[in-house]
Structure 1
Amino acid sequence: MSTEAVKWAMDRAPMPRTEKGKPDTTARHVLQVLGEHAAPDGSNAHPSVLRIQYRTGYDRTTVQRALRRLEKAELIERDGSVDGRTRWQLAVELVRPKSDWTDLEREENDYRAAAAERKRRSRSKGVTGAESVTVTDSKGVTVTDAESVTGDVTDFTPSRHALNAQPSRTERRPNHQQPPVNQLHKDSSSPPAQTEPGSSDQGGQHLEAFGAFWLIYPKRREPENAKKAWIAAIKRGANPQHVIDAATAYARERANQDPKYTKYPATWLNKGCYDDEPDRPHLHAVGNGHIPQQDDRDMWDQKKAVIR
């Protein structure tokens, strides 16, 4: 094996090109195997095709095609045969142009510059300009419950309530869980004073009372529709405190029940369910050992009167 021929095949020999002008790495690898079997002047290289296959890992057809491309590029030349194997003369006088190295350096610099520009643009997209950041005065923020705080922060006005904000979708409180009494006192304002229809502050008082209703109601869905239904019910003459008390009783009634049968707040308000009579316990026969209370006796007397 000749070190000079191998060095020429690896570094100094011109790069063979494919028909599309790209580096022919397959032919380059085969040329290196020929250099390993050549004399220092590039002569007397006669490895068998099988040896080249073993050295490169290519199949027979690939090796033969690579030899033909090298011969066409005038990097090798037939010089007889040895024991039935073709003997090759390597054109060690041919030298690779220096422009190949400078071209590679330029391509590498362009690649690094493009990668740095992509990284800079990616970082700039993740940064928000200072002009687009809005800071709200902390005095104008009303917080009701840490579990139901949304990402929206609005300006403070006396006629608005924090519960007017859209409820968070990440709320984890069960639909029928009754809020603590101290939480209701904390989050809801006192019942609004009765005002004449059409007064200027009537809408704000309706929404303040709606905040207490919303906390109590067992299924908090479609808040905008519920607000409209609430205002419509108050305009029809419903007392806000009466509606809140009825919602409390309804929440107690629906506790531990299937939530899919619980009415939406807008439906409950529009149908006037706040005027429904509460369910009374069924009477048991006296023979079962039940002692009727006064209310049971009155109802029983009414039933007997109807039967007579």
Structure 2
Amino acid sequence: MSTEAMNWAMDDAPMSRTEKGKPDTTGRHILQVLAEHARSDGSNSHPSILRIQYRTGYDRTTVQRALRRLEKAALIERDGTVDGRTRWQLAMGMVRPATDWADLEREENEYRAAAAGRKRRSRSKEVTDSTSVTVTGGESVTVTHSESVTSDVTDSAPSRHALNAQPSRTQRRPNHQQPSVNQLHKDSCAPSAHERDSAPQPLFASPASSAEPNSEQQQEIDFAAFYAIYPRKIAKGNARKAFAAAVKRGAKPADLIAAAAAHRDNWVRCKTESRFIPHPTTWLNGERYDDELPNPSAFQSSGSGPQTTERNLTDEEIENASHFA
């Protein structure tokens, strides 16, 4: 195994494209297997098709098509045969353009700007126009609403309101717990809009009164479900950004979660080492959720290779998969 070839295949090699123009994530995975068997200069890589199938979980047709795409993109070149197997030379002189990273940064900035705009619009919807009340002087009260009504109240009579009259000494209760004048005013008047809004809310709201999560909260809930399923827990912050970018590109959160579970099961069946499981950020940015996965029955073999039958994974296998990292 060559560290130089592996680093090139994982980070520095140009991203090949499929016939539809999408990033060739399947070819990228197979290129990493070729680099694993190459020398430091990218030469003498000759794993068999069966070995590539075993390491990736792809069927023979998928592997052969990916090899043709890599050869067409000039990332690999035939260099003879070894024991009937094709020997490949990796084009380690080809380097991924810097614009790939710049495009990702631009998409990230656009996503953040869009998220900030959605947050501002959400806050503006929470603010509603209420009745405008303007108080000038001590006696003049101006109330403005849809019909623009103005009322001036002047206290010219010497008499007092009945609520303002203090109770006599003989009228007091034995324990002297008489309500105050302010309390009498408060009890006799209907509560204002401000008082209704500021009234204490019940500790436990009924299910009907609970607010639905907004788009950002729902996306965080979906990402938490995805991250809990994905077996390799590395760079959670970058994974969250990659998950949001995938959703922005049109992927449905439910499909991402289902694909992560399917890939996890496939890695468990293949007994893939944790270091060869891509980071969640790489998996999402490379749109690996669209990769073709082999049918579990394809792992049945009468010759070399693991003897397995199609079955559902046990809880213990799923739990072990979550500790790959």
Query: Is TM-score (shorter-chain normalized) higher than 0.5?
Result: no
Which protein has greater RCO, CA pairs closer than 8 Å, 6+ apart?
Answer: 2
Task: Pick the structure with greater CA Rg.
Answer: 1
Give the TM-score of the pair, scaled to structure 1: 0.43
